[in-house]
């Protein structure tokens, strides 16, 4: 079995060129390019990181280290619904640990794991920049759920599970 090397679509390449044009040097465009790659390929596998490094003419170690540092970049395939529970102090003081524990119990997984059916994955992350509405949970890097309670969190999981 052969696996094709990742490659941006024409539209993604055009977007990449537009990103490059916004930065004084190539290296500075790495974060948005990784974001684009994640959107294009679903997650940042080692071949995707190699592709980005080649495309940007940057050292692979630099690209890999950058992707590893930020939780918003997925280094393994996420579930259909990827839940990120903030654990930083403001959220922690307002019950984030209870939110995480409730999610873990409901889904039968721990932080960093994915359900056997691939529907849900869970990750604890640092501040999601919405501290005034703590505790916060983000779905699929795009959808915020704020001022959560355990009850509302479980209702959210039920709603996602039914879709």
Q: Is there a cis peptide before residue 135, judged by omega within 30 degrees of 0?
A: yes
Q: Which of 8, 34, 18, 30 is nearest to 141 (CA)?
A: 34
Q: Does 33 bind ligand FES (CB under 6 A)?
A: no
Question: Which one, 33 or 84, has the nearer CB to ligand FES?
Answer: 84
Which residue among 88, 121, 138, 153 contacts ligand FES (CB under 6 A)? 88
Q: Please identify, using beta-carbon distances, which residue of 18 and 93 lies nearer to ligand FES.
A: 93
Residue in 63, 91, 103, 157 binding ligand FES, rule: CB under 6 A: 91
Q: Which residue from 6, 53, 66, 90 is in contact with ligand FES, where contact means CB under 6 A?
A: 90
- Closest to ligand FES by CB, 23 or 144: 144
Residues 5, 83, 67, CA angle at the centre, nearest 5°?
Answer: 40
Cα 88 to the center of its chain, rounded Å: 17
CA distances from 114 to 77, 80, 133, 155 (A): 9, 10, 27, 19
Whichever of 109 and 128 has its CB closer to ligand FES, that residue is 128
Q: List the x/- string, 135-154, binding to ligand FES by CB under 6 A.
A: -x------------------
Which of 128, 137, 156, 157 touches ligand FES (CB under 6 A)? 128
Among the listed ranges 30-38, 52-60, 74-82, 122-130, the one in contact with ligand FES (CB under 6 A) is 122-130
Q: Where are the alpha helices (DSSP H) in the chain?
A: 10-21, 30-41, 46-56, 60-69, 89-93, 96-107, 150-161
Q: What angle do CA 25, 26, 29 make, to 5 degrees?
A: 100
Residues that bind ligand FES (CB under 6 A): 86, 88, 90-91, 127-131, 134, 136
């Amino acid at each position: 079995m052969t696996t094709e090397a990742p490659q941006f679509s024409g539209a993604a390449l055009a977007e990449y060129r537009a990103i490059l044009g916004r930065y004084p040097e190539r290296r500075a465009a790495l974060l948005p390019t990784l974001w684009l790659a994640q959107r294009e390929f679903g997650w940042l596998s080692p071949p995707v990181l190699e592709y980005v490094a080649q495309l940007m003419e940057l050292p692979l170690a630099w690209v890999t280290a950058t992707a590893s540092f930020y939780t918003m970049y997925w280094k393994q395939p996420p579930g259909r619904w990827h839940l990120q529970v903030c654990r930083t102090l403001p959220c922690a003081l307002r019950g984030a640990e209870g939110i995480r524990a409730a999610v873990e119990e409901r889904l039968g997984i721990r932080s960093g794991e994915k359900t056997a059916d691939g529907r849900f994955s869970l990750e604890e992350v640092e501040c999601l920049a919405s501290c005034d509405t703590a505790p916060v949970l983000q779905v699929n890097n795009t959808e915020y759920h704020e001022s959560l309670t355990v009850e509302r969190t479980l209702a959210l999981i039920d709603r996602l599970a039914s879709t």
